[in-house]
Structure 1
C-alpha cells in the first residue's frame, strides 16, 4: 500500500488527502502529548487507565503502520480496513472509561461544540465589519452559517457511511455553502473578501 500511495502522491492524485489520512491514523502525531495530558486531567483518568490508553494508542499505531506497509491491498481495501481499525479503536477506548467519565466526555464534546459556535459568531462579526455588511446581509449570513453547521453535524454523525464518504459529502457541502455566501455579497464585497483570503493565505505561508 505504501508504494501505491507514494505513486498517487507523485502523480498528484489525492496526495493531500492521502497524507492527511495517514497522519490521522496516529502516525507521526508528535504534537498531541500536551493535549493528551489535558484530556486525562479533565476526565480524571487513573494511572491504570492512562497506561491502558497508551497501550491502545501504541497498538493502533502499529496496526496502522502494518496496514500502510501492506502492498498487496488495493486502495479501496486499504480505506475499508483503515475505517474498521478506527471503529475498533474507538470502541476499545470507550471500554476504558467509567460511566461517569463517558458522561463527562459527552459534556466536553458539547462544550467544544458551544465554543465553536461562539468562535463562528465572532468571525462573522469581524467579517461583517470588514465587508461592511448591512443588517439584511448579516442576517442571511447567520442563517447560512447555522444551516451549514447543522448539516455538517448530521453528516459527521452518520455512522452508516464511511469516513471517505463523509469527507466527500462535507466537501460538497462546503462548496455549496461558499456559493450561497457569495450570492449574499455585492461584487465589491466579493472583491474585498477575495483580497482578505489572499492576505490570510500569504500570512499562513510564512
Structure 2
C-alpha cells in the first residue's frame, strides 16, 4: 500500500515524463507491490450520434488497438525509465469513449486456503460457465466485490494511510541512553 504522498509523486513523475501528445489526459496511475498501472484517455472515434452499438464497439476496439501499436516504442521507453527508478513493472491502459482497456499487465499469483463452502462457490461458478477454473472464479469474485464496494475500499485505504501517518508520528521506541526511568511511565518515585 502506498501513501497519498507517494502516489502523488508517482503520478507527478509520469505526468512530467510522458510526452504531451501520448494521451488526451492522464486519468489514473495506480501501484501495488508488483506493478504500476498507467491509464490515459484517448480520443473516441468519430461516429454518427445514432451509430449502432456494434459499430461503436468495433470502432472503439480498433482505436484502442491502433493506439497500442502506434505508441508501443514510446511507452516501452517510459516503462524502462520507470522500472529502473521505481523497481516495479509498468503496465498500460486507456479509456476510450467510456471503455477501459488494460494492455499486458502482471497477473500475480496469490495463495489462499479455502474451506469447502468457499470452494463450492468457486465450483458453482465453473459449472455455470462463468469461469474456466477456480483461479478465474476467484478473480471474478474479486472483481465483483471491487465493483460493488469501491466507496468502502476507498474509505478503508484512506484509513490505512491515516494509521501509517499516526505510526510515523509516534514516540521514539528507543530507550533513554542514561538508563534512568522515564517519569511518564507512571512508576512511583523510588520504585
TM-score by length of 2: 0.33
Q: Which has the higher contact order (CA 8 A, sep 6+)?
A: 1
Larger radius of gyration: 2
TM-score by length of 1: 0.31
Q: Which has the higher strand share?
A: 2
